Structure formats: C-alpha cells, structure tokens
Amino acid sequence: MDKEQIKLVVIVQCEFASKRCSGHACMRSFYERTGTFQNYPSTTMYLSLTCGGCCGKGLVAKLEHLTKMNLKKWQLQRNQVAIHLASCICKDNYHADVCPHLDYIKNILYKKGYENLIEGSYLSDTATKKRNLGIYKK
C-alpha cells in the first residue's frame, strides 16, 4: 500500500471496548503520525467507527454507507481508504483478548472492496512491555 495515495484513514474499534475507551489514544497516534500511522500525508482525513458488536456483521451497513458517502461527497474510491483494525480488536490487551471474530471482520472488509487493511492502531508502552514479558500474546 502506498500511504501517499491514502485520503482517508478509518479506525475500526471494538464495540465493547468503545464503551470504556474513547479512542483518544488512537486518534492522537493518528494526528501525531506515530506507530502504524507513520507516513500518511498531512492532508489525510480520519474517521473512527465501531465494528457494530459481535460478530462484526454490523460493520457491513456502516461500510456501505461509508462507501456511498465517500463517492458522493469526496469522490473517494476504496483504494484511497486505509482501514486500521484498532489494537483492541487485533491485539491481546488490557481490554480483552484478540477478537474471536477477527478473520470474519477482515473477510467483510475484503468482500466490500477494502484492500488497504492494517492490523493495529495505538499500542501503549505498558501493553508492549507485557507482550515482551509474555503476559499478553503477540
């Protein structure tokens, strides 16, 4: 993926984690262009949404609306969108284990034509230390 071609970054957060996490750290990481958000142009836009809850099927309607609005309002094609599965979905962490529906959610994204898929968003120093110690799975 050529990050220079990306016009919109979408962070998909776990519905359940979003009840206790505002997504502030992921947003800050995006705007500071750290971690997985390095090398996106300064003009790249940002959107955060949730998976819709287990099993992630609620994401289908959100993606259909996103695709429609991207084309209608911004003339953005799917290949100009990068979707980051937030760390609360794809990494063992404080909130929960890796989402048991991760492969299903990824399959939904691919079926809807979103191929710029990145696993991970913000990773705290504490979580990184716990992964290195084997407390959290890598």
The string of pLDDT tens digits covering residues 71-91 is: 999 999 999 999 999 999 998
What share of the chain has pLDDT > 70, as a percent?
Answer: 99
pLDDT higher than threshold 70 for residue 66: yes
Which residue would you say has higher pLDDT here, 123 or 9?
Answer: 9
pLDDT of residue 106: 97
Task: State the pTM of this model.
Answer: 0.90
CA distance 138 to 130: 9
pLDDT of residue 125: 79
Structural contact between residues 108 and 59, judged by C-beta atoms closer than 8 angstroms? yes
CB count in 10 Å sphere of residue 107: 12
pLDDT of residue 69: 96
pLDDT of residue 131: 78
Tokens 């947003």 sit at which residue? 27
Sheet containing 81-85, strands listed edge to edge, beginning at the edge strand earlier in sequence: 45-50, 8-13, 81-85, 117-119
C-alpha radius of gyration, the chain, whole number:
15
